[in-house]
Structure 1
Amino acid sequence: MGTDQQFFCGNRMDGYEERRNKVRRFQLTSDIFFCKVLEDKEACQEVVRILLGHPSLVVKDVKTQYSIRNIENRSVVLDVLAEDTDGRMVNVEMQVSEDEDHQRRARYYQASMDMSFLEKGCPYEELPELYLIFITEKDFLCQKTGISYIDRVVRGRGTVTDNGVHEVYANLTYGCEDEKIDELLRYMKRSDCDYQTEVFPNVVRKVRYLKEQKEGVEIMCKILEEEREQGIRIGVKRGIEQGIKEGMAQGIERGMEKGIRAFICDNREENIPRERVLVKLQKRFELSVGEAEMWLEKYWG
């Protein structure tokens, strides 16, 4: 374990306990927590089997936070991408905090995945069967049910056609006639450690590990630290971008100050020692000792 992680998750008991309490409040509706739980192959398999209604499906590989880069256009980061033993691909997205056009998002994700799956010169038949499962807060399809399966149908004929893409939209607002799906979606909103079930025991096991066991809590602590620091970097970047419009020097200065202030305040809240923050500040923002001291005097309080 690195020095920063020790201070963040272990050496200061008050800070550690505070972080552990925050981790305990996580639910599967958090995409960060959702991804950590479903990177467990058995847990992912349970979720996919239940939501697709395929009890015999076997997941052989799982990737979380899977990035598909596009040099010229928008890149995507998939929450969960799984492959089963028959070569079928399953993308599971937790999108409860997003108020967007989920169907067009699914369309773009599918296109991005297809581009990454099919190598140049290969026939289209080699595209794998693809399942997209989007879990949202609201019933944006207005079907008054907790899960909807979308088919391509010939208008006026009712004939279902198959291009290998299957869209599934689950929501956390309505219940489901299927008891297993209903139980799973209800659990996602609570994510209790002491929950007892025979339907998805591996999901509960992974939740319990991340919330209760020291190793799991430290994993979540590290992720939260990385997310916080990424947010600081984004803040600095946005400040610099704003600087292009307002005047480069002034914009960079504003962006740097916002990032430094957030960094100092967050570390102080975590009870990380002042002298340790001083060292981290110099490294993170390439400051001299004097400059770092100046910012600490201003924002440490």
Structure 2
Amino acid sequence: MGKEAQDARNFTAPVEDHELGIRYEKYKRILAGLTIMSDIFMRNVLKKQECTEYILQVIMDKQNLQVKEQILQKDYKNLQGRSAILDSVVCDMEEKRYNVEIQQENEGASVKRARYHSSLLDVNTLKEGQDFEELAESYVIFITRNDVLGYGLPIYHIGRRIKEVREEFPDETYIIYVNAKIQDETTELGRLMHDLQCRNAEEMYSEILAGRVRELKETPEGVDSMCREMDEIYNEGIERGLQQGMTQGLE
């Protein structure tokens, strides 16, 4: 390497390190204000499976519910149409399936979207050669900042019914809306909704969720992990901007 190139490299590295340091300080300030209702933070909280398990236990009112496996932020394919990235897809020990979505805006939790997510669970669960009767019982759960359905209730359970006889239609597919606006501290569900919107671990009721929030916000390893993920998002944005600029320049 020539002297001029080496000098340029020695100059560039400190500048890049300085810029990265500035970004990391900004990320730390952003991290301090995040809650589990924030997409990037929710994804990292749920990487600890016991957090997902606790949330489902409360929403399903089933304390013995155990998570067998979960997949976060997976792109569920529809070969004939639109695919969708689902926040969290869970299988419990009884082989029931759950799609847990946390939504800040009403548009992200529309009833038609819930229907579509339910269909994606089915088409991505049943394998070739399996009988339709082997479809798993499934739940699409939207936890929403606002009362999307508008009836003023903390939780809504939706299932199909046979209109003429007023009996349940037993296809075992269900949709649940949880209204995070109601934080009734006298109920376990209300306390969970409170915790999902807390910035500080010490204000949370659940030790399971509080422990994970402390890990991500208050330990060097957790903070570094979150900052690195935010920097990846930053860099992806820069790359997309450059690609769009190049595309527009060719048009």
TM-score by length of 1: 0.71
Which ranges of structure 1 fall in alignment gaps of 5 or more residues? 252-301
- Select the residue among 198, 212, 216 that pairs with 2:218: 212
Matched residue, 2:207: 201
How far apart in 1 are the matches of 2:125 and 2:83?
A: 15
On the 8 A contact 1:191/1:204 being kept in 2, the answer is no
- Select the residue among 92, 111, 114 that pairs with 2:119: 111
Residues 124-163 of structure 1, C-alpha deviations (whole Å, 9 max, x = no match): 1111111111011221211101211112122243212221
- Select the residue among 26, 45, 63 that pairs with 2:53: 45
How far apart in 2 are the matches of 1:29 and 1:8?
A: 31
Residues 68-92 of structure 1, C-alpha deviations (whole Å, 9 max, x = no match): 1334421111111111111111110
Of Structure 1 and Structure 2, the greater helix share is in 1
* SS of match in other structure, 1:108: helix
How far apart in 2 are the matches of 1:151 and 1:175?
A: 25
How far apart in 1 are the matches of 2:183 and 2:204?
A: 20
Letter matched to residue 196 of structure 2 = M
* SS of match in other structure, 2:70: strand
Structure 1 runs (4+) greater than 4 angstroms displaced: 6-9, 175-178, 237-241
* SS of match in other structure, 1:81: strand
Letter matched to residue 241 of structure 2 = G
* SS of match in other structure, 1:190: coil
On the 8 A contact 1:145/1:176 being kept in 2, the answer is no
Which ranges of structure 2 fall in alignment gaps of 5 or more residues? 1-12
Letter matched to residue 232 of structure 2 = E
Matched residue, 1:60: 68
How far apart in 2 are the matches of 1:176 and 1:153?
A: 30
Matched residue, 1:135: 143
- Select the residue among 61, 82, 90 that pairs with 2:90: 82
Larger mean Cα displacement after TM superposition, 91-100 or 125-134: 91-100
Letter matched to residue 50 of structure 2 = E
On the 8 A contact 2:198/2:204 being kept in 1, the answer is no
How far apart in 1 are the matches of 2:186 and 2:86?
A: 27
How far apart in 2 are the matches of 1:164 and 1:59?
A: 19
1:28 aligns with 2:36: yes
Deviation for aligned residue 1:179: 0.3
TM-score by length of 2: 0.84
How far apart in 2 are the matches of 1:177 and 1:16?
A: 36
Matches within 5 A, 1:160-171: 160-171=168-179
1:223 aligns with 2:229: yes
Letter matched to residue 208 of structure 1 = R
Deviation for aligned residue 1:225: 1.1
Change (3 A) 1:60 1:169: same
- Select the residue among 212, 215, 238 that pairs with 1:232: 238
Deviation for aligned residue 1:240: 5.4
How far apart in 2 are the matches of 1:237 and 1:130?
A: 40
Matched residue, 2:78: 70
On the 8 A contact 1:24/1:212 being kept in 2, the answer is no
1:125 aligns with 2:133: yes
Identity %: 27
